[in-house]
Amino acid sequence: MALNDAEFIQAVIDLQDEMIESENYEASKLIYAQKLLAIIKNYLMSGTVIITGTSNQGAFTGTGNIE
């Protein structure tokens, strides 16, 4: 499955909207960083990794792509 750019963008916009309503700037910086990290992790984990390669009775070697 390909990475969903539109979903990522909307999640960041939603986070920005949530943060603009915050009354405590110092506390909201940490909350923003934590939530942004979760959004990025979710985005990266939503992709599929395809690995191709060969093995000669040893450790598998090959190349990987995130789609």
Domain count, the chain: 1
Amino acid at 41: K
User: Which pTM does this prediction carry?
Assistant: 0.70
pLDDT band at 66 (very low <50, low <70, confident <90, very high): low
* Alpha-carbon gap, residue 5 to 46, rounded angstroms: 10
Contact assessment for residue 53 and residue 47, using Cβ atoms and an 8 Å cutoff = no
pLDDT tens-digit profile of 7-60? Answer: 999 999 999 999 998 899 899 999 999 999 999 999 988 887 777 666 666 666
Please state whether 53 falls in left (phi above 0), alpha (psi between -120 and 50) or beta. Answer: left
The yes-or-no verdict on residue 65 having pLDDT over 70 is no
**Distance in angstroms (rounded) separating the CA atoms of residues 24 and 14:** 18
Q: Tens digit of pLDDT for each residue in 13-27?
A: 999 999 998 899 899
| pLDDT confidence of residue 59 | 63
Q: Which domain holds residue 37?
A: 5-53+61-66
